[in-house]
Amino acid sequence: MISFDFQDRDLGEDEIEDLRVVFTEFDKNGDGYVNYKDLGDCMRTMGYMPTEMELIELSQVITGGRVDFEDFVDLMGPKLLAETADMIGMKELQRAFMEFDADRDGRISRAELRDAVRTLMEEQPHSKELEEILRDVDLNRDGLVDFEEFIQMMSS
């Protein structure tokens, strides 16, 4: 197994294999290198949208105008790890939402919001405070907070 150190953990075998598949697809002549001109297309295939400036900066760092697999992993590994961190953040949001959604119906009611605010603030919230929170968060004005509204509330 190839192991590359990034941030708090190494890339897993499946992540390395995903990178290898994409790399091989863009290694047009099979010489073990991807031309820096093809690197942008390669990155876009993986769902990343590098700007022209980023590609110019990469081309200045790349020796000989081409990237081998290890350099490719060095470039793309942090992006994969950041993506994984974002997904972990989403899981944490889902857990938090489930804590508020006591009846597990996929929506946070006014009563559930009151209980959550009471638990978080350790005091009884006033009706005006609850109405204000609901008014700010309840974008579709149905009197409930769904997961998308919850995400927006937590990210603002």
Cβ contact 101:107 at 8 Å = yes
Is 0.85 surpassed by the pTM of this model? no
- Hey, what's the torsion of the CAs at 43, 45, 51, 55, to 10 degrees? 40
- State yes or no: pLDDT of 23 exceeds 60: yes
Mean pLDDT, rounded, for 21-33: 90
pLDDT tens digits along 97-141: 888 899 988 889 999 988 888 887 777 878 888 888 888 888 889
* Whole-number pLDDT of residue 83: 65
Domains of the chain: 5-85 (1.10.238.10), 101-155 (1.10.238.10)
Q: Residues 69-83: what's their mean pLDDT?
A: 79
85 has pLDDT over 70: no
Identify the bridge partners of residue 152 per DSSP, sorted by sequence position. Answer: none
Q: What is the pLDDT of residue 8?
A: 43
In the structure, what pLDDT confidence band is assigned to residue 90 with cuts at 50, 70 and 90? low
- Note the pLDDT of residue 4: 36
- In the chain, which residue ranges form alpha helices assigned H by DSSP? 13-26, 36-45, 52-61, 69-100, 110-121, 127-137, 147-155
Residue 2 reports pLDDT greater than 50: no
pLDDT at 112: 92
**Could you tell me the pLDDT band of residue 22, with boundaries at 50, 70 and 90?**
confident
> How far apart (Å, rounded) are the C-alpha atoms in residues 123 and 54?
50
